[in-house]
Amino acid sequence: MLTAALCLLSACSALRFGYNQADELAYWWLDSYVDFNDTQSLQVRRALAQWHAWHRRTQLPDYIGLLARAQAEVLEPTSAERLCKWWENARSRVDAALEPAVAPAADLLLSVTPQQIAHIERRYAKANAEFLDDYLQADPAQRRKESIQRAVDRAESFYGRIDEAQRERIAKSVAQSPFDPELWFGERKARQQEALQMMRRLLAERASSDAAQAAVRTYFERMTLSPRPDYRRYARALTEYNCQFAADLHNTTSTAQRQALVGKLKGWEADLRALSASAAP
């Protein structure tokens, strides 16, 4: 749901269409994991619709203000410190958007069956196989090539076509990056096991609503800050490196490339204004 609702990196028309369909897209994504029964289906659809309406009404105006501010900033050189502040701003907004999801998520968890938990575990296995294909190719050269291409694609999604010197800078940065897909994969699997253990424990204990909400809130907090010290250190180092890389790349961009980014930001702002205007009172 958050991925759909906060998808500010899409084309303008895709952003508007995707946001309007966010609750429906989120429902089908969740159903692919849980395989809802009829009662749960109604419950989840209602909760998603309520969350979506809340998000449109209360959060979009804030995003509009951020986009307007960004349009002025991106025309000037930047720094790693400034970009890391933007990253922290984004994280704080994700946390704010997760909080209203705690109670409905807890209600759903209290209704899941052992068969549904087994279904989720199988779906995790399928998603992990897809992760291996995308990020952990057996050939190191192929893995590096894919990483470079992802970085180039992200840069061009902001600035338009980048030149050869910028491509070389990106390739060098990827080679020096602390990004470790194996460590990321290990953290991903650990979080999946924590989710499965949480669901099984709530089921076995016939947990109360308060206990379920506390468990969900703890899980959400661990999504932001891992309980594993090694991964926390890695995540902090990677964020700092990425902020520096993004600042260095931005400072090589031409006036035309920065204007292209301003155009994208304006388009996103216009889309969010249209979406916000359609919010129910």
pLDDT of residue 13: 61
pLDDT of residue 17: 84
- Closest to 264 in 3D by CA, of 8, 82, 5, 7: 8
Residue that has been written with the tokens 């994991």 in this structure? 33
pLDDT of residue 60: 93
Cβ 198 vs Cβ 219: under 8 Å: yes
Residue that has been written with the tokens 């906060």 in this structure? 6
| pTM greater than the 0.85 cutoff | yes
- Closest to 20 in 3D by CA, of 33, 7, 30, 9: 7
Residue that has been written with the tokens 């030149």 in this structure? 163
Q: Residue 201 has which token pair? A: 């424990």
Q: Would the CA dihedral through 66, 259, 276, 84 be positive or negative?
A: negative
pLDDT of residue 270: 93
Distance CA 241, CA 173 (A): 9
Cβ 47 vs Cβ 106: under 8 Å: no
Which residues of the chain are modeled with pLDDT < 50?
Answer: 1-12
